[in-house]
Amino acid sequence: MSLLPTLPGSARTTLPIVPVEVLKRFHVHERYDDRLKAAARLLTALWLRRRDIPMGVHQARDGRARRLGSRLSPAAASAGRNFLTPELATMAHQVIAYQETGAFMPTDRVLANGLSSTTLCLQTMLILAQDLDLAARVLQRLLPDQDIGQVTDVRFEHSLGRRDPSLTGDNSAHDCVVRFIRKRRSRHTQRVGMIAMEFKYTEGLYDSAPCQPGHYDDLAEASGLFKDPYHAALRVNPLQQLFREHLLAQAAVMRGDWPSAVFVSIAPAANVRVQRQADLYRAFLKPPIKGQVPFVHLTLDALVGALEAAGAPEAAAALFERYLDWAKIDELVGAALQARVARWPVAKRTSPPPLKLISQAA
């Protein structure tokens, strides 16, 4: 029996515009939020409130502070309450403590920001890291072409060499890298494979560091991945993050560090912006051949469904409630809209004129 609600909101791509009065009631009214971010911020605030997790404060650039319902208090953040279980919180603290030199994993954002995509990645992939057999079953469902037999390792914010000129020569890294062994080996496939992953929750694909002119040209051409390796659109937002991380995985294969790899991006189905950006990036790619790293885009909804189908329904339900249960937003929106209509003034009823007067007027 499925623990995931069979509701229209379970894998939706369209979310409501949440009324301002609802956002203000839960201290999540942020002026520049789009409808996805507003809904996700509200969903986070509801999740924190149900668990009696104290609300935190956002410090604006001008120094003013305000309560923010999607942020945890310092004490709650330090205790790891941004995570689903104490076990996951402990593992996340260990990942932060032992992060690679040069890794970008800001502690405050991971522990205190309820919308952090890094936290989403840790929540999801640490569940798999706890049980590598479960990880293999989940990834087999999501990536059937990879012939995954056994998962051996899960790493976070991982790069084989930041600023290494024999790779991409920049600070690019993957949110998560999974190493696995294939069920079968043939002359066309390597026994060991890698899955390089990029997670998004509410944000789009964006890289703040500009691509230096000519910096990636030789690698992009040598990779054979692109129809036009010199196309300018690959080197600016919104495609440059996928471009850089795809090249990083490809360079690791070409250098011999990884026998083979697949590059995967993951975002909620409701993050339509990322879905479109992934489709756009795919349009620049050639069909992959032996020795090349294919690109696959998955939805977070599909990952949660695969987790349930692979034998972890409680973990799937917990992730769904935390990140994807848009039906809870529908309930609040519906109640608010109904309350607006209920405020209509009640018109006084007047008696119709007598029939005799009507006939005289005629």
> For the chain, what percentages of helix, strand and coil (3-state, to nearest 5) are there?
45, 15, 40
Domain total of the chain: 1
Specify whether the CB–CB gap between 26 and 45 falls below 8 A: yes
- Expressed as residue numbers, the domain containing 84 is 8-342
CA distance 128 to 58: 32
In the numeric block, the tokens 């990942």 are attached to: 95
Check residue 5 and give its pLDDT: 52
Residue 300 domain-assigned (yes or no)? yes
Residue 59 domain-assigned (yes or no)? yes
**pLDDT in single tens digits along all 362 residues of the chain:** 455 554 434 578 899 999 999 999 999 999 999 999 999 999 999 999 999 999 999 877 777 888 999 999 999 999 999 999 999 999 999 999 999 998 989 999 999 999 999 999 999 999 999 999 999 999 999 999 999 999 999 999 999 999 999 999 999 999 999 999 998 766 656 789 999 999 999 998 887 777 887 889 999 999 999 999 999 999 999 999 999 999 999 999 999 999 999 999 999 999 999 999 999 999 999 999 999 999 999 999 999 999 999 999 999 999 999 999 999 999 999 999 999 888 788 777 777 766 665 555 55
247-257: burial string, b at 16+ Cβ within 10 Å, e else: bbbbbbbbeee
Residue 303 domain-assigned (yes or no)? yes
Check residue 4 and give its pLDDT: 53
Residue 270 domain-assigned (yes or no)? yes
Residue 357 domain-assigned (yes or no)? no
- Alpha helices, DSSP H, located in 143-226: 217-223
Residue 101 domain-assigned (yes or no)? yes
CA distance 224 to 326: 41
117-130 vs 300-309: helix crossing angle, rounded to 10: 20
Encoding tokens for residue 193?
């494979």
CA distance 327 to 332: 9
CB proximity list for 92: less than 8 A, separation 6 or greater:
80, 83, 110, 111, 119, 122, 126
Check residue 361 and give its pLDDT: 54
At 267 the three-state DSSP class reads strand
Which amino acid, one-letter code, is at 16?
P
Residue 353 domain-assigned (yes or no)? no
Beta bridge partners of 197: 176, 264
> Other CB atoms closer than 10 Å to residue 66's CB: what's the count?
9
Check residue 8 and give its pLDDT: 39
Residue 358 domain-assigned (yes or no)? no
How far is residue 184 from each of residues 169, 191, 193, 263, 288, measured CA to CA in Å?
Answer: 34, 7, 12, 21, 20
At 279 the three-state DSSP class reads helix
- Residues 61, 63, 64, 68: is their CA dihedral positive or negative? positive
Whether the predicted model's global pTM rises above the 0.85 cut? yes
CA distance 221 to 263: 18
